[in-house]
Amino acid sequence: MKKTFPLFTTILLLLLFGCQEEKNIKVCENFQLLGSFNKGEKVSIKFNSKVIHEGFFEDKSWIVSQLFCVDYTDTFRVDFRVVKKGEVVLDTSMVGYSGFGNYLLALPKGRPTGDLLEKVRADIDFYETIPPDSLVRTAEPELIVSH
């Protein structure tokens, strides 16, 4: 009985430590990428000059939602770049302040402008047929709403 108690206690402590470590990982998900990427696009995200994500969408378009754990400094910089066929589609940098909370980096499918906007408003199905290269794409930072 005396040998069983220390063994049981050790196993219990290991389980508790493992659960605590998993919980800390979930709490750390403080930066999220949400984007609609087109076939053939290569995406690169740097956080304070450190690459945190690179992706290539070779076969088809994808909608991506990915959480990251980043170490905030008082202010931080996010560099976001999308390249297609060797040509830069989007290259932008953003500055954030850690006191605001968690962040979402969003890249929508694309926004029609001018005459295209009027056509989309008249026929929403038309939006699906517009070539991605003719749409304005912007990356926007927002705060992640925590539940």
Residue 119 Ramachandran class (φ > 0 left, ψ -120 to 50 alpha, else beta):
alpha
In a domain, 104, yes or no: yes
In a domain, 114, yes or no: yes
- pTM listed for this prediction: 0.64
In a domain, 35, yes or no: yes
* Residue 105 pLDDT grade (very low, low, confident, very high; cuts 50, 70, 90): confident
Task: Identify the bridge partners of residue 107 per DSSP, sorted by sequence position.
Answer: 35
pLDDT of residue 25: 45
Task: Identify the bridge partners of residue 142 per DSSP, sorted by sequence position.
Answer: 104
Mean pLDDT rounded to a whole number for the chain: 76
In a domain, 142, yes or no: no
In a domain, 12, yes or no: no
In a domain, 120, yes or no: yes
* Residue 8 pLDDT grade (very low, low, confident, very high; cuts 50, 70, 90): very low
Domain containing 44 equals: 29-124
In a domain, 19, yes or no: no
Number of domains, the chain: 1
Amino acid identity for residue 30 in this structure: N
